[in-house]
């Protein structure tokens, strides 16, 4: 039993490291070859994990081999546009200038029902509102609505808007994020002083705290303090 436990931890660690090396893209954003490699890696890990009669190296070596293949393919795709088109494919224009490209749908084996479902997920409920629709090589759908159906932007109204940067998380579940604190030009003593103003004496009592580009602090204490 101990052997199985140790083998499981080793294989799990190797798979996690391999997936991290492969990149940060979500499953729905993986290219076909990346998805195939991810599935094969998980399958290769499950065999020696379940069967202690299979040497551990018989699982580790194939996983490392698949990882090496993925890195090589990614590198070739990065350096060569032609290779990228062959390996990953090209985006397909499903609707161009408001016209449905029937042949593209047939070539991609993509039905109108699938297309309408994807449109609804993007809050577009009328195909007539679409100016361009592109099926990306990873299967994601990109849509450009017609000009009259797009959301109004400040630029449309000739409004000047101020710059907005993402808020910096300073404390998450009682843990201080020192890097973000430094990026916000704050130190621990300054943050604690601000927390004291709202009745929080210790950082560990904070559930979440962040600061926005206007230097406004948002903070919420853990529930045990609010009772």
For residue 73, what is the enclosing H or E element?
Answer: helix 57-79
pLDDT computed for residue 225 by the predictor: 45
Give the torsion sign (CA, 183, 186, 188, 194): negative
- Identify the band that residue 138 occupies on the pLDDT scale cut at 50, 70 and 90: confident
**Rounded CA gap, 181 and 218, in Å?**
14
Determine the topology of domain 92-149 in CATH: CRO Repressor (3.30.240)
- Identify the band that residue 14 occupies on the pLDDT scale cut at 50, 70 and 90: confident
Minimum mean pLDDT range among 50-54, 61-65, 185-189, 220-224: 50-54
**What are 173-191's pLDDT values in tens digits?**
999 999 999 999 999 999 9
Which range scores top for mean pLDDT: 19-28, 100-109, 143-152?
Answer: 100-109
Task: Report residue 136: phi and psi, to 5°.
Answer: -75, 165
Burial class (CB in 10 A: 0-12, 13-18, 19+), 171: buried
> 182, 194, 199, 183: which is closest to 218 by C-alpha?
194
Beta-carbon-side half-sphere exposure of residue 130 (alpha carbons within 13 Å): 24
User: Which of 152 and 28 is assigned the larger pLDDT?
Assistant: 152
- Identify the band that residue 171 occupies on the pLDDT scale cut at 50, 70 and 90: very high
pLDDT computed for residue 73 by the predictor: 83
pLDDT computed for residue 56 by the predictor: 82
Domain 92-149 shares a fold with domain 168-226: yes
- What ranges do the domains of the chain cover? 2-86, 92-149, 168-226
Among the CATH numbers 1.10.10.10, 3.30.240.20, 3.40.50.720, 2.60.120.380, which is that of 168-226? 3.30.240.20
pLDDT computed for residue 226 by the predictor: 44
């Amino acid at each position: 039993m101990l052997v199985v436990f140790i083998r499981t931890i080793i294989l799990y660690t190797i798979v996690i490291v391999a997936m991290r090396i492969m990149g940060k893209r979500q499953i729905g954003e993986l290219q076909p070859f990346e998805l195939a490699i991810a599935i094969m890696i998980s399958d290769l890990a499950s065999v020696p994990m379940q069967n202690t009669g299979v040497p551990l190296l018989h699982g580790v070596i194939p996983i490392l081999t698949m990882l090496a293949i993925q890195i090589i393919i990614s590198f070739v795709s990065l350096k060569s546009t032609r290779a990228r088109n062959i390996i990953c494919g090209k985006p397909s224009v499903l609707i161009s200038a408001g016209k449905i490209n029937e042949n593209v749908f047939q070539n991609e084996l993509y039905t109108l029902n699938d297309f309408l479902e994807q449109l609804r997920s993007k809050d577009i409920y009328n195909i007539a509102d679409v100016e361009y629709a592109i099926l990306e090589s990873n299967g994601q759908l990109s849509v450009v609505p017609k000009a009259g159906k797009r959301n109004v932007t400040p630029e449309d109204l000739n409004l000047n808007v101020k710059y907005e940067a993402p808020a910096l998380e300073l404390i998450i579940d009682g843990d201080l994020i020192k890097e973000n604190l430094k990026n916000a030009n704050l130190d621990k003593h300054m943050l604690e002083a601000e927390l004291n103003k709202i009745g929080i004496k210790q950082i560990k009592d904070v559930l979440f705290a962040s600061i926005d580009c206007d230097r406004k602090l948002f903070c919420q204490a853990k529930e045990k303090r609010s009772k």
